[in-house]
Amino acid sequence: MSTILSVQNISKRYGAVQALSAVSFDIPAGSVFGILGPNGSGKTTLLGIVTDVLKADGGSFTLMGALPSAVQRRQIGTLLETPNFYHYLSGYRNLQIVANIKQQSESDIPRVLELAGLTARQHSAFKTYSLGMKQRLAIAGAMLGDPQVLILDEPANGLDPVGIAEVRNLIRKLAQSGKTIIMASHLLDEVEKVCTHVAILRRGELLGSGAVNVVLARDNFIEIGSADSKALAQAIQHHPAFVQLLPSGDGVLQVTFNDKVDPATLNNWCAQQGIWLSHLQTSRKSLETAFLELTNN
């Protein structure tokens, strides 16, 4: 998989605030890449630098394998802040204005309206749109000219659950059509639902980057219980795949194994040790737990 954006040792300081400290990572082509971090972690600053709105103090980046130039920039659509659409004009008229400002052909407007699912409402005034429709229109504006890469800053911000789902579906649709999406977000859940890859920032430092299921690895564990939880706790530590044991209340034990352990086989193994299980359930560490462990929070 080729690399769309490669960030190398990017640093940025605002007075006393070190907004980014030597941040490096690669964004694979075709990925939905989330830049995840709490407020003030440097996400917007990073997007500002790669879109040429801000200058880095140090470091460099390449776009599609080359130093950034007008040729690469034409392949990138950006949505860094909510555009000032005219409330009394229709979605279509607003996109005409965007196309003129960006010096792009108006002939692309029907295509982006269709992509954003707004064709049926294209002639309605912007003020009659739901929050999700407004955001989809903004993304449609960024898609004018059919760029290969879309950079979105907090695309779900301020939306209700329906709007968030609409924007998520649009991002997925764009990704399925082969676009690379780079999005900043502080919404862990949203990043998990839509992103294939992630970079995690905390106070300007990169904590990790790569495929979501690797960076935010979530071990499987099995909850087991028996009438004699003491005997169970002792016995389970002799299981060949045993890694860790945590009590989880009501005499139930959370056990992590170093390999996939099938519940039926485990039940059988416990019976062979003379222990009859009264509780057996496979579970997964929550994404939030994995995130908090990674950010040491």
For ligand ATP, the binding residues (CB under 6 A) are 14, 17, 19, 37, 39-45, 186
CB of 61 to ligand ATP, least distance (A): 16
Looking at beta carbons only, is 47 or 255 nearer to ligand ATP?
Answer: 47
Looking at beta carbons only, is 241 or 292 nearer to ligand ATP?
Answer: 292
Three-class DSSP category at 33? strand
In the block, residue with structure tokens 């790569």:
210
CB of 38 to ligand ATP, least distance (A): 7
Looking at beta carbons only, is 13 or 73 nearer to ligand ATP?
Answer: 13
CB of 52 to ligand ATP, least distance (A): 15
In this structure, are residues 208 and 215 in contact, taking their beta carbons and an 8 Å threshold? yes
Looking at beta carbons only, is 23 or 99 nearer to ligand ATP?
Answer: 23
Looking at beta carbons only, is 40 or 117 nearer to ligand ATP?
Answer: 40
d(CA 55, CA 49): 6
Looking at beta carbons only, is 81 or 293 nearer to ligand ATP?
Answer: 81
Residue type, 186: H
Looking at beta carbons only, is 21 or 226 nearer to ligand ATP?
Answer: 21
CB of 7 to ligand ATP, least distance (A): 14
CB of 252 to ligand ATP, least distance (A): 39
Q: How far does CA 203 lie from the centroid of its chain? A: 18
- H helices present in the chain, as ranges: 43-50, 70-73, 91-101, 109-115, 131-143, 161-176, 188-194, 212-215, 229-236, 263-272, 287-295
In this structure, are residues 237 and 281 in contact, taking their beta carbons and an 8 Å threshold? no
CB of 132 to ligand ATP, least distance (A): 20
CB of 211 to ligand ATP, least distance (A): 22
In the block, residue with structure tokens 């000032």:
84
Looking at beta carbons only, is 184 or 235 nearer to ligand ATP?
Answer: 184
CB of 16 to ligand ATP, least distance (A): 9
d(CA 149, CA 27): 11
Element (H, E) at 62: strand 58-63
Q: Which residues are 284's β-sheet partners? A: 220
What is the 8-class DSSP label of residue 92? H
Cβ-based neighbours of 185, under 8 Å, separated by 6 or more = 34, 35, 36, 43, 154, 155, 156, 191
Residue type, 172: R
What is the 8-class DSSP label of residue 85? -
